[in-house]
Structure 1
Amino acid sequence: MAEATWSPGRLVWYELYTPDVAKSKAFYEAVAGWKVTESDMGSMKYTMANVGEKPIAGFMPLSVIPMQGVPPFWMAYVSVPSVDEAAAGAKSHGGKVLMEPTDIPHVGRFAVLQDAQGAVISAFKGTDGDGAEVERPPVGTFCWSGLNTTDLDAAAAFYARVFGWTKGTFMGNAEMPVFLRGQVPAAGMMKAPPGVPPHWLNHILVADLAAARTKAVGLGAKVMMDNIAVPGIGTFCVITDNVGAAIALFQGTA
């Protein structure tokens, strides 16, 4: 049995909080090509999305959120050496801990954090490590996540304390700031458009953006941001899925 290894600062899991798990399952199976199954997690069933044999995301009923009026959303999980220290760091840098550090038997420990500007993300320490890191994500998996924020410098300071990230640029482009873990880009950051609250936006890699977008719209998605080309990298669009959760669809440059 391989020894467990961790990659602190890497985004390692994603979870959709949805009012209709069955509806979300049908949507992402059609648009992203996922195989969605149910797994036993002790006293509960957990709906899990897979690409091939690799688990990449989970679906949770929105009703588990204790606050009223929370819209459907995707949440990313970042690997940390200590969930408790990450939570303490969030509190000390103007953020909030929306869910205190909690153990999931045989899975790991996590906490839900809100940064000082209001974006929500989770800290996670898996029991069995983080799994192998791949250089080129396969089609159907999450390939990037980006923070939309009202204050880039404050966000950089917050995430430096919580996840150990530093602020850098993507391929030396000062117009494309990123979070780094060491020398490796961990996630993007950009100024949120006027009127848009701070949030994390996650990107799914698709083989054909036009086809995926058309299929998504046909299943009830709405296009929130039209296709944007990133020279030398690829093209993406932002949609809200058929339950209203924001997600980006990305096609890489061949």
Structure 2
Amino acid sequence: MADGFIWYELVTNDMDKAVNFYKKVVGWDVKDAGMPGFTYMIFGKNGKDVGGMMTWAGAGAPDLPTQWMGHIHTAKLDDELKAVTADGGTIVKPAQDIPGVGRFAVVLDPQQVKYLLFEPGKGYVPPRLGQMAAGNVGWHELLTDDAAKAFDYYSRHYGWQKDYAHDMGAMGAYQTFRTDQPLYTGGMMNRKGPGMPEGIPPHWQYYFLVDDIEAAQKRVIEAGGKIVLPPMDVPGGSRILQATDDQDGHFALMQGPKS
């Protein structure tokens, strides 16, 4: 069984602003997780969870730029941490327990891309949104220095399989990949090349699903965000945009293919 992304996290500096912005733009319901001495907000829709929000201060860190991060499922966190370091990765935050929920750690892949690992506990698992439901993540995109090496790494560790490769000319291939889901789950591409902005760090990017990308673009602007990449068609029939929120945090939206 392949392991995929199962949780998404926004770390920001102003929780109230973040909650208000994303409720307006994506339409999430947001609730306090009720953690003693720590504010952690859970977002989702219709009683089904997608991820959480916290502040850098709450995480015990100084104020840093707003950042979206994703958790990849693992059944054996300690073994996977050993495998990550043996394969050239780095442990940023060692394994830590979340009482009643599970265990997590923060790592860098061999090309310095940050992601989290999550080993669920054996207790109650809250319901999750469907793969292509509005409000969930419909696409996971990796921008890195060597997409071919990156795929080898993630495939070896998490069982991902190659799917369609889109020829991007001088940029190389945009390699899509699957986990155990019936649809495409993401793609990988090189971050440097003709037409790519300078200074983009290697990173994972998550596309949140909306029903209407043009309407979502208006909501971004009205909520105080900025459009980085206006709505555009992509192979497969989806439409995407990229933007920054009102705290300059980069994020992306996606309208799925019309049936």
TM range (shorter): 0.7 to 0.9
Segment drifting more, 35-44 vs 178-187: 178-187
Cα deviations by residue, 1:80-128 (Å, 9 ceiling, x for unpaired):
1111122222211222111111110110111111112221111111114
Match of 1:151 in 2: 146
Q: Cα distance 1:28–1:162, how it changes in 2: closer, same or farther (>3 A)?
A: same
CA distance in structure 1 between the partners assigned to 2:37 and 2:62 by the alignment = 25
Q: Secondary structure at the match of 1:26?
A: helix
Match of 1:52 in 2: 46
Report deviation, 1:67. Answer: 5.6
Equivalent residues in 2 for 1:18-97 (5 A)?
Answer: 18-65=12-59, 68=62, 70-97=64-91
Segment drifting more, 212-221 vs 183-192: 183-192
Q: Is the CA contact 2:45–2:129 (under 8 Å) kept in the aligned structure 1?
A: no
Q: Is the CA contact 2:48–2:128 (under 8 Å) kept in the aligned structure 1?
A: no
Report deviation, 1:186. Answer: 4.0
Q: Cα distance 1:86–1:233, how it changes in 2: closer, same or farther (>3 A)?
A: farther
Question: Could you say which structure has the higher strand fraction?
Answer: 1
Q: Is the CA contact 1:9–1:186 (under 8 Å) kept in the aligned structure 2?
A: no
Q: Is the CA contact 2:12–2:55 (under 8 Å) kept in the aligned structure 1?
A: yes
Report deviation, 1:50. Answer: 2.1
Match of 2:159 in 1: 164
Is 1:237 aligned to 2:231, yes or no?
no
Q: Cα distance 1:179–1:93, how it changes in 2: closer, same or farther (>3 A)?
A: farther
TM-score (norm 2): 0.85
Q: Secondary structure at the match of 1:63?
A: coil
Q: Is the CA contact 1:21–1:60 (under 8 Å) kept in the aligned structure 2?
A: yes
Is 1:119 aligned to 2:123, yes or no?
no
Match of 1:195 in 2: 199
Q: Is the CA contact 1:100–1:112 (under 8 Å) kept in the aligned structure 2?
A: yes
Q: Secondary structure at the match of 1:118?
A: coil
Q: Cα distance 1:98–1:152, how it changes in 2: closer, same or farther (>3 A)?
A: same
Report deviation, 1:68. Answer: 5.0
Match of 1:179 in 2: 177
Segment drifting more, 56-65 vs 92-101: 56-65
Aligned pair count reads 246
Report deviation, 1:65. Answer: 4.9
Residue 230 of structure 2, aligned match among 222, 226, 239: 226
Provide the alpha-carbon RMSD of the alignment.
Answer: 2.4
Give the counterpart letter for 2:53 in structure 1: F
Q: Cα distance 1:131–1:85, how it changes in 2: closer, same or farther (>3 A)?
A: farther
CA distance in structure 2 between the partners assigned to 1:224 and 1:50 by the alignment = 25
Q: Cα distance 1:87–1:161, how it changes in 2: closer, same or farther (>3 A)?
A: farther
Is 1:214 aligned to 2:213, yes or no?
no
TM-score (norm 1): 0.87
Match of 2:97 in 1: 103
Give the counterpart letter for 1:179 in structure 2: F
- Percent identity between the two aligned chains: 29
Q: Secondary structure at the match of 1:27?
A: helix
Match of 2:170 in 1: none
CA distance in structure 2 between the partners assigned to 1:196 and 1:94 by the alignment = 22
